[in-house]
Amino acid sequence: MTRISVDAFEALIRDQLPLVELFGIRTVSIGEGLATLRMHYDPSLLRPGGTVAGPALMALADVAMYAVVLGLIGPVELAVTTNLSINFLRKPPPQDVVADARILKLGKRLAVAEVLLRTDASDDLVAHVTGTYSIPPERD
Amino acid sequence: MTRISVDAFEALIRDQLPLVELFGIRTVSIGEGLATLRMHYDPSLLRPGGTVAGPALMALADVAMYAVVLGLIGPVELAVTTNLSINFLRKPPPQDVVADARILKLGKRLAVAEVLLRTDASDDLVAHVTGTYSIPPERD
Amino acid sequence: MTRISVDAFEALIRDQLPLVELFGIRTVSIGEGLATLRMHYDPSLLRPGGTVAGPALMALADVAMYAVVLGLIGPVELAVTTNLSINFLRKPPPQDVVADARILKLGKRLAVAEVLLRTDASDDLVAHVTGTYSIPPERD
Amino acid sequence: MTRISVDAFEALIRDQLPLVELFGIRTVSIGEGLATLRMHYDPSLLRPGGTVAGPALMALADVAMYAVVLGLIGPVELAVTTNLSINFLRKPPPQDVVADARILKLGKRLAVAEVLLRTDASDDLVAHVTGTYSIPPERD
């Protein structure tokens, strides 16, 4: 069972994570250990060369991991990223970017997730991300 | 000798990397293998819990690496991040965040840099970042 | 077409990478952008707590990436790891560990691969690894 | 005050981490949030090209982080690496490799450390490593 709905997750981040709005990030689905988010293309996301900037991709990946983790543990707002590692694989053209996140491990104290970033134009990945969230003990 | 000035770097990113403006990032100095940038505090940078959001820290670190790399190779706009790894160490209070970047290795094809993030309030690091930039061959 | 056979890869590392023998690592298969290796259990691989030591897992992952990269580019011995990031997910019991590597990107200068580590006892991952290999220009 | 001596740390790993012996790793010093270890050169550490192999460098770095963490929390054997990220900067010649580790953060549940690897021949780093150790709750 998913412990946070798309609507509840979007409400949480709308109120408390304004960057998500700045980046045009929308939650598509949150499932059991899975989440899909989409970053709507806007010229403000570009970097030199006309491709989508790395910080926008990292923001999308981080929010996607937050979605997949809260989908498993519920609205524990103070779950925080402790570590994120991204490999940029291909330059993303000026288009929407889709993030598919999945949980690799859910422990009592740490959750590890993987995020694949791609565009609609190709199955080729634009980036691969892994990250760790720390789950606060107070949630019990 | 530094191969890009603070003014030239700021002009480049003002035109071509609008995220930098969104995040309130300013270049303080670019030296020989060193760069310091500052992200001015704004409530739009916050995350649940009232601390500065991870994606804002990652954006600051990535731009700081770009500054230190261009300081060494000149205005090679198409130098791109291939990899970035961040450890979030302490929750940054709602304040400016300062990034001190330094080069770890400058090769012909890859540059590796380290970025330390801190606030003015404490010497304790809020995050430690390493990253790799790929330097395009066309620059010769 | 795979550009190095299992036998040729094993011969190369037997001669030039003695650590592989120390760790009991064997190449199971090398395919098109895929490779599977196995580290045979031996008590010398243990760490405090009686689980397989992290350095042994990292060695296995690194050699698996080498196999998948050489499978694509041929016996380019001087391809070298530039970056490796590992998340340890579960403590591996004292058993063989299997590494499934796959290529995420093969460029002219860089190859990025992912490795999943598991034991025969469970489908749960014991570790997730990503890494980058630098491909020397001289290979042309 | 350092909570584990060099002798006690060496005894612990001699008994329970045989890889350290295989790699010729010796503990030079353990201080307050600092540790220095040395890996004695042996031809079994080499990789194709005649430089020290990546897995040997990763093993040295991981043990150096273990030393710096146990130096702060005492002989908590079950502290385990959750994450390690390494950037290989220069090919290490066939010589001893020295690891200087320092703590970046010591929390109740996680410790983050940085390790710089170099040879005696040069101040240039051969690799830069960051890693996270999970500290078991049972230690109280």
Say what the pLDDT of residue A101 is.
98
Do D84 and C58 make contact, defined as CB atoms within 8 angstroms? yes
Say what the pLDDT of residue D140 is.
44
Say what the pLDDT of residue C137 is.
86
Do C134 and B85 make contact, defined as CB atoms within 8 angstroms? no
Say what the pLDDT of residue B60 is.
98
| Cβ-contact D64, D102 below 8 angstroms | no
Question: Chain A within 8 Å of D104 (Cβ-Cβ)?
Answer: no
Q: What percent of chain A has pLDDT over 90?
A: 94
Average pLDDT for B57-78: 97
Nearest-CA distance from B48 to chain C in Å?
A: 26
Task: Give the pairing type, strands D34-39 and B46-47.
Answer: unpaired
* Contact list, C82 vs chain B (CB under 8 Å): 110, 132
Do A82 and D110 make contact, defined as CB atoms within 8 angstroms? yes
B42 burial type by CB count under 10 A (0-12 exposed, 13-18 middle, 19+ buried): middle
> Which option is the CATH number for D6-139: 3.10.129.10, 3.10.180.10, 3.40.50.300, 3.40.50.1110?
3.10.129.10
* Contact list, D19 vs chain C (CB under 8 Å): 44-45, 47, 53, 55-56
The residue in chain A having the minimum alpha-carbon distance to the alpha carbon of residue B90 is A82
Average pLDDT for A8-37: 96
3-class DSSP assignment, residue C45: helix
- From the list C44, C58, C62, which residue is nearest D22 (CB)? C44
Residue D123 makes CB contacts below 8 A (sequence gap 6+) with: none
Question: Chain D within 8 Å of C1 (Cβ-Cβ)?
Answer: no
Distance (Å, whole) CA D58 – CA C11: 24
Say what the pLDDT of residue D138 is.
62
Do D77 and C49 make contact, defined as CB atoms within 8 angstroms? yes
| Cβ-contact C67, C101 below 8 angstroms | yes
| Nearest residue to B34 (alpha-carbon basis) of B77, B4, B75 | B4
* Contact list, C87 vs chain A (CB under 8 Å): 104-105, 112, 130, 132
b/e sequence A104-113, b meaning 16+ C-beta within 10 Å? bbbeebbbbb
Q: How many CB atoms lie within 10 A of CB B11?
A: 13
Say what the pLDDT of residue D139 is.
45
Question: Chain B within 8 Å of C110 (Cβ-Cβ)?
Answer: yes
3-class DSSP assignment, residue D86: strand
Residues of chain C with pLDDT under 70: 138-140
Say what the pLDDT of residue B139 is.
46
Say what the pLDDT of residue C138 is.
62
Question: Chain B within 8 Å of C80 (Cβ-Cβ)?
Answer: no
The string of pLDDT tens digits covering residues A99-140 is 999 999 999 999 999 999 999 989 899 999 999 999 998 644
Residue D2 makes CB contacts below 8 A (sequence gap 6+) with: D30, D31, D32, D71, D72
In chain D, the largest separation of any two C-alpha atoms, in whole Å, equals 48
| Nearest residue to B128 (alpha-carbon basis) of B95, B107, B110, B104 | B104
The string of pLDDT tens digits covering residues B2-51 is 999 999 999 999 989 999 999 999 999 999 999 999 999 999 999 999 99
Question: Chain A within 8 Å of C90 (Cβ-Cβ)?
Answer: yes
Residue B53 makes CB contacts below 8 A (sequence gap 6+) with: A17, A19, B45, B46, B47
Say what the pLDDT of residue C38 is.
98
| Nearest residue to B128 (alpha-carbon basis) of B47, B60, B40 | B60
Q: Which contiguous run of DSSP H or E holds residue D65? A: helix D54-73
pLDDT of B129 over the 60 cut:
yes
* Contact list, B132 vs chain D (CB under 8 Å): 87
Token pair 């940029």: residue: A88
Choose the mutation target among A78, A81, A83 for the interface with D, i.e. most D CBs under 10 Å. Answer: A83
Do C85 and D86 make contact, defined as CB atoms within 8 angstroms? yes
The string of pLDDT tens digits covering residues B73-123 is 999 999 999 999 999 999 999 999 999 999 999 999 999 999 999 999 898
- From the list D63, D87, D88, which residue is nearest C80 (CB)? D88
Domain parsing of chain D, residue ranges: 6-139
- From the list C90, C112, C128, which residue is nearest A130 (CB)? C128
Which chains pack against D, by 3+ Cβ pairs within 8 A?
Answer: A, B, C
Residues of chain D with pLDDT under 50: 139-140
B134 Rama class: left (phi>0) / alpha (psi -120 to 50) / beta: beta
Nearest-CA distance from C112 to chain B in Å?
A: 10
- From the list C18, C56, C91, which residue is nearest D80 (CB)? C91
Say what the pLDDT of residue D137 is.
86
Q: Let me know the angle formed at the C-alpha of D41 by C42 and D133, rounded to the nearest 5 degrees.
A: 55
For C139, which DSSP code?
G
Question: Chain D within 8 Å of C78 (Cβ-Cβ)?
Answer: yes
The residue in chain D having the minimum alpha-carbon distance to the alpha carbon of residue A137 is D109
The residue in chain D having the minimum alpha-carbon distance to the alpha carbon of residue C90 is D82
Question: Chain A within 8 Å of D119 (Cβ-Cβ)?
Answer: no
Q: Which contiguous run of DSSP H or E holds residue C22? A: helix C19-22
DSSP class per residue in B87-135: EE-SPPPSS-EEEEEEEEEE-SSEEEEEEEEEETT-SSEEEEEEEEEEP
Q: Provide the CA A135 distance to its chain's centre, in angstroms.
A: 17
Do A85 and D85 make contact, defined as CB atoms within 8 angstroms? yes
CB contacts < 8 A, A to C, total 34
- Which range is least confidently modeled, A78-87, B55-64, C96-105, C130-139? C130-139
Question: Model's pTM, two decimal places?
Answer: 0.97
C15 burial type by CB count under 10 A (0-12 exposed, 13-18 middle, 19+ buried): exposed
Choose the mutation target among A65, A105, A116 for the interface with C, i.e. most C CBs under 10 Å. Answer: A105
Distance (Å, whole) CA C73 – CA A59: 34
The token duo for B13 is: 């990113």
Residue C60 makes CB contacts below 8 A (sequence gap 6+) with: C23, C25, C37, C39, C97, C99, C117
Residue C84 makes CB contacts below 8 A (sequence gap 6+) with: C58, C61, C62, C65, C129, C130, C131, C132, D54, D58, D85, D86, D88
Distance (Å, whole) CA B72 – CA B68: 7
Do B85 and D85 make contact, defined as CB atoms within 8 angstroms? yes
